[in-house]
Structure 1
Amino acid sequence: MSGMRIKDAGLIDQSKPIKFTFDGKAYSGFKGDTVASALLATGIRVFARSFKYHRPRSVWGAWSDDPNAIVDIALDGISYPNCQATTTALAEGMEVRSINAWPSAERDVKGVLDLAHRFLPAGFYYKMFMWPDWHLFEPMIRKMAGLGTLEKEVSDQFQSAILHEHCDTLIVGGGPAGLTAARVAAEAGKSVTLVDDHAELGGSLFSMAHARGLNASDWVAEQTAAIQSAGGHILTDTTAIGVYDHRMISLVTDRGLGTAPIMRKMRADHVIIATGAIDRPVTFVNNDRPGIMSVDAGTEYLARYGVRVGEKIAFLTNRPDVSTNLEQLAAAGASINIVEAATPHIQAIGTKSITGLVVGGKSISCDTVLASAGQTPLIHLWRHAGGKLAWDEDRQTFIPSAGPDWMRVIGAAAGTFDFDVAVQEATAVALKAPAPPRSIYKVTPLRPDLANKGRQWIDFQHDVTLKDVALAHRENMVSVEHLKRYTTLGMAGDQGKTSNIAGLSAMAELKGQSIPEVGTTTFRPPFVPVPLEAFRGTKRDRQMAPLKRLALEPEHRALDAAMGEYGGWLRPAWYGGDDEKTAVVHECKIAREAAAIMDGSALGAIEVIGPDARDFVNFVYYNTMSNLKPGRIRYGFMLSESGLVFDDGVMACVDDRRFIISCSSSHADAVMAHLEHWRQDSFDPKRVHIHDTTVNWSTVTIAGPKASDIVTELGVLENLHDFPHMSLRFGDFEGAEARVARVSFTGDTSFEISVRNDFAATLWRKTLEIGKKHGAGPVGAEALTVLRAEKGYILVGKDTDGETMPHDLGFGAPRLKKSAAFVGDRSLHSEKANSEARKQLVGLIVKDGEPMLPIGAHIVRNKNGKRFSVGYVTSSHDSPTLGRPIALALVEGGEHAMGEPVDLWHLGQARSAKIATSCAYDPEGARIDA
């Protein structure tokens, strides 16, 4: 007999049965069960198979410390891969499937791989599959890799949330120490948040309370009521998964399968870690057999779920404090046999379930082994925060030492395994007082038995054995980090909770060193596996990047505009309902022969205001902006600190204390963040203010040879005399302020008229009415991209890449002449920045009669019989104006290759072209000032 339910025992509700299936067979549990406790209660031992050898795996722990019981679950038609059976709450109708096994965990056909274990040691794939060609084996290996099954269709129904919160004191862990600290802090007037990853508070109290004469439920209820009455906030089913910069602790509330998790980004002035401790395995031959579990797990299943894990139980431990565990299990009807864990040559007997132990040559009959080589404090969060560790020889474990002054560790997580002392410690720490001295607690060191020839498991999930660690040692993996990566020890979902000290102990024994001399691996968040929905939150799809709408959208739709997304804005692509090609040709003709009337409202409009505004814009721009006079506009680049082109656009000077930055429509939010970063980092925030006014204005752009006539007739300015290109004027439109900028993105005379949104529709209609008399009409974004490409005007992110600097685009003067500091200045003088092999913007011309070049086609050169890519096409169009294809490209050394022929390669097709200047239309710029 391997497990049974004790009537009316535990915290579950045995009056509410729950039906579920496991590997196709029907079972039942009760409300409050986990998948693991329900299966154990039915006598099932084999839950899954191990990663490499497909060995049978059952539970080791009772909560998140378990590395073995991983299952796939289907619930209400939704698949959930790789769920921890020990932490997943049972739900009606669950279809539970064992992982890494076919057709079932009990009868896995790939279990034969275990017979070939001697040919599959650690790192075998690094060596075995190199000859004759790794790629021959890679598909098969990839197919076999991984655990669990990810369905092709994933549900997208859950609306998870990401919350930002703050408190004075955050307590992580709702056991005796955590509850005590929370109550004391709350009653001292602190804003307290207590989190625990179980549905019920109490932690280890349920498995120890009777030994202390306590009623666990009553004691927990008393503490909970006191915390809440003092204003404390309690979060159950919530795990602190990691500590990040600026004291930010991520908390994930998992409300069960079928509901969305909640991510809380908590910032607390004071953090108390009361996460407890877990048993670590004893290393002996076949110590991975189903039925071998931790000492505390055996008692937890009984105390929480009313499950007696075995009938004949052997205790194999060096812990001096297991008497309460023994008493509870004996009272539940189990026979107990205490085994000396330090005895050499221990071996488990049995295959799919343990049937006995061989200890010192003597056989012991048992159906369950509760093992512990000592307790390991759960100090992951302490390490995330930069806290140090110290080896405690008496406890045979690492405990917290020096660390951040805003975080303290108490209770078993600090190595305080005595209940009374832990409560005293919690009280002192909550009041920021010195903690009392710890009580004496000594365990006998248990090192792996190197003389025992059988396989001894270090990492249960990844099938790392003592022999694998020995192999890594022989192959000179001297660092514990090398050991981890070579053997994959502690790299699975367990993340070293159970395997870490076992691995360190093995390496120490092999090297003849102490465990502290061997060192520790790095603890990284998250502490437990986290559903991806928690990180995504509600910011996804249109919630992540809401589609921005133009005030003139109804006007565009009335003109039968084809609407499309451009840079996050819904904008007119073309008008009239024609097919795109016909419409674009027609609109380009209108723009060049009369005037294009366009909605330019999507362009970013960010105002920089303040006494230091002029110095600020000069600093954030590559070009010199300090000498820009009021009423004038200048084109320029913003760079990243790496000297790369971040954004381009024009900036207008209103007066010495006010500037208007016009940036790319798709980059407005990023530019705003960029400016705010440098405002706070390098300037007095009180003397520079930044406002994104993009949505406050609507802009109608009129560009073309008839633009001046149309603007004159509109009457927004008294006259257009003394209004040169790159100037700003303020006028009037029907009693409201009109901001008129003379700038061009088409290469023709162009005016951008900006008014309040409530005047936009009137301005648009009147402009169309006047423009119609001059042959002008509406032009969409697709035609605009052709018009700008004819002039060689770039789109950042399309005609630039992650290596483009301004001098690659023909703007080299500021790099050499600007004396004032600016963002990215030093990076422009690096060896890489001065390389002759830099990709530079050029134009490409194809032979007469040949079609346009495909975007993304590579420019290639031959060297030593091999073809190398030296650039690629960034933009390509059939130019209606020129009557031939045009293209822009980034090409190595393109600036000095004008007129040279080049070869192109795209999807197996060869093409040819000639390098030319990027401006294909009106290179003299005569039309801008026409």
Structure 2
Amino acid sequence: MSQRLATGGRLIDRSQPRSFTFNGKTLQGYAGDTLASALLGADQMLVGRSFKYHRPRGVVASGAEEPNALMNMGEGELFEPNQRATTTELFEGLIARSQNHWPSLDYDIGALNQLAAPFFSAGFYYKTFIHPRAAWKHLFEPFIRKSAGLGQAPKGADGDIYEHYYAHVDVLVIGGGIAGLRAAHAAASAGARVLVIEQSATWGGRAPVDDDFASEINALVAELAAMDDVQMRLRLMGAGVYDHGFVTGYERLRDHAPKPGAPRHRLWKIRAQQVVSCTGAIERPLSFAGNDRPGVMLASAMRDYVVNHAVAPGQRTVLVTNNDDGYRTVLCLLDHGLEVPLVIDARRNPEGTLAAKARARGVTIRDGYAAAGVRGTKRVTGIEICPIEGSGGAVDTVECDAVAMSGGWSPVVHFYSHCGGKLLWDEAGAFFYPDAAKPPLNQSGAGFVRCGGAANGALQGAEAAQCGGQAGAEAARALGLTAPVPSGPAPEPQAEAPLMPVWVMPLNADYHRRSHTWLDFQNDVKLSDVQLAAREGYESVEHTKRYTTLGMATDQGKLSNINGLAVLSDALDASIPQVGTTTFRPPYTPISLGSIAGEARGDTFQPLRRTPMHDWHEANGVHWEPVGHWRRPYAYPRSGETVEQAVHREVKNTREALGLLDASTLGKILVTGPDAGKFLDMLYTNMMSSLKPGRCRYGLMCNENGFLMDDGVVARLDENSFLVHTTSGGAEHIHAHMEDWLQCEWWDWQVHTVNLTEEYAQIAVVGPHARKLLEKLGGMDFSAENLPFMGWAEGQIGGFDTRVFRISFSGELSFEVAVPAAQGAAFWDRLVKEGADLGLMPYGTEALHILRAEKGFIMIGDETDGTVIPQDLGLHWAISKKKTDYLGKRAQERPHMTDPARWKLVGLETISGAVLPDGAYATAPGYNANDQRNTQGRVTSTYYSPTLERGIAMGLVLNGPDRMGEVLNFPGTNGQIYRARIVDPVFYDKEGAKQNV
């Protein structure tokens, strides 16, 4: 049985008991316990069931590599599945329930799956669910969907809150063991800004359990904490390393001490010039029949529970090992008054110092032997032994209630590999370690990630500590700092005998034992499954992984990958380096979805963007319209007036007198540099490099597939600078589009882009009295001679700093005035006040749309849908015939793009004067293969025109420009057929006289 020891426990505080419940049963632990140590202390060996066969499973590890002890945690809005008991710190009132069983943990009907194990071998689903085809939809798929998944899905919204945090440092040290602390100290002593993070709640890593480093650890922590340029964070796990020194971290703020209203998790976004990974190593299990029984545990985990938590996983423990490190567990158990009746060592005559110490204390060592099988069902009752070269026939049985297994150590190379670092294979230690000659490279081509300590293959304590200090000094020197070779006290290393690589016990195990030997505990992948995959032709390790699901569980193969890789290489008669390893991908362990979202939830899921005039609109009865993240005025209804009536009033007033539009949401991107003109020539279909300073030009922007993605006015500010105006919803997208091409394709062009959208308020002063209003404020010459159409000028208007663009989206005399955002509200107020006697009225987006439709101006998102090219819209005039290339040009020359049968833009007016339904299709004779009416066009924009006092529309129609005057039928949703005539898309002032006044 497992139990709490009467004394000891490095991390627990016996004066602070903690009550918790497991499957409804109240148990007790202490402050400093993990849920796993508290369960073991209460003799709860069975903690869950495996995924496929529902086999009884117990705690096997003590850290993030744990595959078995996954819990449903909490209740209601605080419920969360798949939480590792080994990394969950115990707190008062913790509620945990085991997973993957019914009706109970002890009596699970799913365990009957074990009887069908011969039919559930690797890839059985690919072979089983193919025939009969009709059974997939109605039988197989519903059953698989119901069976899939671990734990229970939360039923309500998450009640916790989360946040993001940003940090910029010179050196990031991942791992707070002795190696990481020495690395941080070396880098900080050289003058670097250092952040050192540790995923657990204490500093030191394994060193306090396995080595005599306690005093040095305390001293290093104290020194680092006193340094101004050093940050130290516990419970902060390195999650992933990405390009350009970007690293994510996952901080657990309140898992150990829940507090309503306080953030639970924090996602760190770290920029580091150098990264030092001191993440240690993970002990590998051994592969023998029954190695998944509750009570079979990693040897290092067993001594963790004894030393850190005063918990004995068993009273009589048998060690199964192939290396000397396992003997540390033997000595640890003996030191705490526990019995070790036998050590099963696969090697012949192990002569290491640790083995000798165990013999001196009376421990029986059966060298050259293997574990043939483990007895027991829901807990260990004994172990069978046989010669290591045998096939599994037991020659002896030893009674015990726990088995410690030690198969060697695998350095945690994940962070070195995330960003492209290469690995080497160490034959003596049977592990992959970082290839220092091929590190991850930063943008300048230099290595920016290095490993220290056990993560670099230095597995002994003294060697690991020294390696960590060297890695920190190297990181500092890579930054140009002076860092001497660090030195520090270290105990003499233990003389250890070589490890014997053993990937199956016994070496010639028969099929029965191989089919009961587990590689991936969570996904129930057996040794025989990997061998079957090799026989069936899955020679690639990546293919084998997916065929067997090896390493695809929530632990991502931390315990299973090396053993599975070795079994595969043996089955293929190839070396392990030749077969290779699977890809390490972030995050290192699963992180909460809430931490990824951060504050972006509820009302802040999509932050509301407001223009500087937002409060004025709100105070003046605005009817809002969402436009991307913005809220734009749709109309300004007056008392007793409908929204539609308000829109019509605003249109007529703008045409007849004076309108005011908040156009601040338009994208404003500054493009500057010697190659700015060349860059814009590639982005736009027409020439921008020939534009003169002080002038504006309308342009169309296409993606590489030739489809129209944005339009707007470009103003040339000076010889090397342009201001690009985009659609309101397109600013971020277009800016990202620019940066994508600059960084990935035209990286050597001298161009810099800045999104200035929110830096300026922009107000359109529109209508016959527009010039009068601006002249009334004074400060500039607004005459057509001084500021012609498509020109711009800078100056002061009424004391405000302005940039005035003579452009029009309404067809009226129009000035778009940009002022610094801080002056936007005041300038708007001034315009409203001074324009009262000129008939000024603000107008919203719907009036804007009607005004532009009357003029036949296109709207991105209305006349375009991702499949429209400029030629479809009659915009040939905006496509340069001089340019040899622009984005989308060659795509537009494909046969489908030049097909004369493409739908083209036309105007539409109903015979009755009614308004066409938005999106309605024009029918054509006949039916298609789906028995639906053929179509020959569709409505893209449709409005009632107060100016023309009838419905107007724009649409794309087959051969439309060649069919002027023809009448088409547009069925409505109410069964009504609308008859509309094809007309010119410009309904108002075709000559443009009004905008050129």
TM-score (norm 1): 0.88
2:468 to 426, 433, 454: 426
Say whether the 8 Å CA contact 2:102–2:108 is kept in structure 1: yes
1:338 to 326, 340, 343: 343
Q: Find the aligned partners of 1:356 and 1:839 in 2 and give their Cα distance.
A: 79
Q: Find the aligned partners of 2:901 and 2:563 in 1 and give their Cα distance.
A: 53
Aligned Cα RMSD in Å?
4.1
1:506 to 544, 562, 567: 567
Q: 2:235: which partner in 1?
A: 237
For residues 717-747 of structure 1, give each alpha carbon's deviation from its aligned partner in whole angstroms, at most 9, with x where no partner exists.
6564445533335576334455443322223
Q: Find the aligned partners of 1:160 and 1:304 in 2 and give their Cα distance.
A: 32
TM superposition shift of 1:431: 3.9
Alpha-carbon distance change, 848 to 461 in structure 1, aligned in 2, over 3 angstroms: farther
SS at match of 1:601: coil
TM superposition shift of 1:639: 4.3
TM superposition shift of 1:566: 2.8
Q: 2:352: which partner in 1?
A: none
2:450 to 386, 399, 408: 408
TM superposition shift of 1:89: 0.9
Say whether the 8 Å CA contact 1:597–1:776 is kept in structure 2: yes
Q: Find the aligned partners of 1:252 and 1:422 in 2 and give their Cα distance.
A: 25
Q: Does 1:919 align with 2:967?
A: no
Say whether the 8 Å CA contact 1:464–1:489 is kept in structure 2: yes
For residues 784-822 of structure 1, give each alpha carbon's deviation from its aligned partner in whole angstroms, at most 9, with x where no partner exists.
233334444334345434455444443345656142665
* Code of the aligned partner of 2:158: S
* Code of the aligned partner of 1:389: L
Q: 1:306: which partner in 2?
A: 310
Q: Does 1:777 align with 2:819?
A: no
Q: Does 1:489 align with 2:550?
A: yes
Q: 2:850: which partner in 1?
A: 786
TM superposition shift of 1:97: 1.5
Say whether the 8 Å CA contact 1:899–1:914 is kept in structure 2: no
Q: 2:714: which partner in 1?
A: 651
Moved more, 331-340 or 77-86: 331-340
Q: Does 1:452 align with 2:478?
A: no
Alpha-carbon distance change, 612 to 493 in structure 1, aligned in 2, over 3 angstroms: closer
Say whether the 8 Å CA contact 1:508–1:518 is kept in structure 2: yes
TM superposition shift of 1:490: 0.6
For residues 229-269 of structure 1, give each alpha carbon's deviation from its aligned partner in whole angstroms, at most 9, with x where no partner exists.
56644322222222211233322222342443333333444
Q: Find the aligned partners of 1:79 and 1:58 in 2 and give their Cα distance.
A: 22
1:248 to 225, 234, 246: 246
Alpha-carbon distance change, 532 to 761 in structure 1, aligned in 2, over 3 angstroms: closer
Alpha-carbon distance change, 925 to 489 in structure 1, aligned in 2, over 3 angstroms: farther
* Code of the aligned partner of 2:985: C
TM superposition shift of 1:594: 4.6
Moved more, 313-322 or 255-264: 255-264
Say whether the 8 Å CA contact 2:685–2:880 is kept in structure 1: no
Q: Find the aligned partners of 2:972 and 2:540 in 1 and give their Cα distance.
A: 47
Say whether the 8 Å CA contact 2:908–2:985 is kept in structure 1: no
Say whether the 8 Å CA contact 1:575–1:583 is kept in structure 2: yes
1:463 to 513, 524, 543: 524
Say whether the 8 Å CA contact 2:163–2:595 is kept in structure 1: yes
Q: Find the aligned partners of 2:14 and 2:598 in 1 and give their Cα distance.
A: 35
TM superposition shift of 1:100: 2.0
TM superposition shift of 1:654: 5.1
Q: 1:596: which partner in 2?
A: 659
TM superposition shift of 1:319: 1.6
2:383 to 348, 357, 362: 357
Q: Does 1:155 align with 2:214?
A: no
Q: 2:812: which partner in 1?
A: 748
Say whether the 8 Å CA contact 1:844–1:913 is kept in structure 2: no
Q: Find the aligned partners of 2:552 and 2:920 in 1 and give their Cα distance.
A: 39
Gaps spanning 5+ residues in structure 1: where? Answer: none
Say whether the 8 Å CA contact 1:79–1:154 is kept in structure 2: no
Moved more, 292-301 or 325-334: 325-334
Alpha-carbon distance change, 789 to 53 in structure 1, aligned in 2, over 3 angstroms: farther
Q: Does 1:164 align with 2:167?
A: yes
* Code of the aligned partner of 2:874: G
Matched residue count: 924
Alpha-carbon distance change, 275 to 819 in structure 1, aligned in 2, over 3 angstroms: same
Q: Find the aligned partners of 1:857 and 1:925 in 2 and give their Cα distance.
A: 30
Q: 1:176: which partner in 2?
A: 178
Q: Find the aligned partners of 2:78 and 2:264 in 1 and give their Cα distance.
A: 13
TM superposition shift of 1:676: 6.5
After superposition, residues 27-426 of structure 1 pair within 5 angstroms as 27-74=27-74, 78-130=78-130, 131-136=133-138, 137-155=140-158, 157-168=160-171, 170-209=172-211, 214=212, 216-229=213-226, 232-257=230-255, 258=258, 259-336=263-340, 337-341=342-346, 343=369, 346-360=372-386, 361=394, 362-401=396-435, 402-404=437-439, 405-426=447-468
Q: 2:26: which partner in 1?
A: 26
Q: Find the aligned partners of 2:535 and 2:910 in 1 and give their Cα distance.
A: 63
Say whether the 8 Å CA contact 1:66–1:86 is kept in structure 2: yes
Alpha-carbon distance change, 287 to 588 in structure 1, aligned in 2, over 3 angstroms: same
Moved more, 356-365 or 325-334: 356-365
For residues 400-457 of structure 1, give each alpha carbon's deviation from its aligned partner in whole angstroms, at most 9, with x where no partner exists.
3342144333333233333333334334444449999998752222233552314222
Say whether the 8 Å CA contact 1:177–1:411 is kept in structure 2: yes
Say whether the 8 Å CA contact 1:270–1:407 is kept in structure 2: yes
* Code of the aligned partner of 2:498: K
1:443 to 476, 499, 509: 499
TM superposition shift of 1:522: 0.9
Q: 1:817: which partner in 2?
A: 881
- Aligned sequence identity (%): 36
For residues 352-392 of structure 1, give each alpha carbon's deviation from its aligned partner in whole angstroms, at most 9, with x where no partner exists.
22222233323332221111222222111122232222222
Q: Find the aligned partners of 1:354 and 1:443 in 2 and give their Cα distance.
A: 26
Say whether the 8 Å CA contact 1:19–1:94 is kept in structure 2: yes
Say whether the 8 Å CA contact 1:260–1:533 is kept in structure 2: no
Alpha-carbon distance change, 138 to 431 in structure 1, aligned in 2, over 3 angstroms: same
Say whether the 8 Å CA contact 1:698–1:756 is kept in structure 2: yes
Q: Find the aligned partners of 1:141 and 1:399 in 2 and give their Cα distance.
A: 39
Q: Does 1:530 align with 2:591?
A: yes
* Code of the aligned partner of 2:372: I
SS at match of 1:40: helix
For residues 19-50 of structure 1, give each alpha carbon's deviation from its aligned partner in whole angstroms, at most 9, with x where no partner exists.
11111111111111111111111111222222
Alpha-carbon distance change, 267 to 559 in structure 1, aligned in 2, over 3 angstroms: closer
For residues 581-615 of structure 1, give each alpha carbon's deviation from its aligned partner in whole angstroms, at most 9, with x where no partner exists.
33333333434455533222332344556776655
* Code of the aligned partner of 1:222: A
Q: Find the aligned partners of 1:855 and 1:591 in 2 and give their Cα distance.
A: 27
Q: 2:365: which partner in 1?
A: none
For residues 810-862 of structure 1, give each alpha carbon's deviation from its aligned partner in whole angstroms, at most 9, with x where no partner exists.
33456561426655656555677667787766666677587743559899995
Gaps spanning 5+ residues in structure 2: where? Answer: 347-367, 387-393, 440-446, 475-483, 488-492
Alpha-carbon distance change, 399 to 695 in structure 1, aligned in 2, over 3 angstroms: closer
Say whether the 8 Å CA contact 2:326–2:406 is kept in structure 1: no
* Code of the aligned partner of 1:504: L
SS at match of 2:565: helix
* Code of the aligned partner of 1:245: D
Say whether the 8 Å CA contact 1:8–1:14 is kept in structure 2: no
Say whether the 8 Å CA contact 2:75–2:95 is kept in structure 1: yes
Q: Find the aligned partners of 2:144 and 2:563 in 1 and give their Cα distance.
A: 28
Say whether the 8 Å CA contact 2:77–2:159 is kept in structure 1: no
Alpha-carbon distance change, 346 to 880 in structure 1, aligned in 2, over 3 angstroms: farther
Q: Find the aligned partners of 1:99 and 1:647 in 2 and give their Cα distance.
A: 51
Alpha-carbon distance change, 824 to 99 in structure 1, aligned in 2, over 3 angstroms: same
Alpha-carbon distance change, 701 to 128 in structure 1, aligned in 2, over 3 angstroms: same
Q: Find the aligned partners of 1:549 and 1:272 in 2 and give their Cα distance.
A: 43
Q: Find the aligned partners of 1:893 and 1:345 in 2 and give their Cα distance.
A: 81
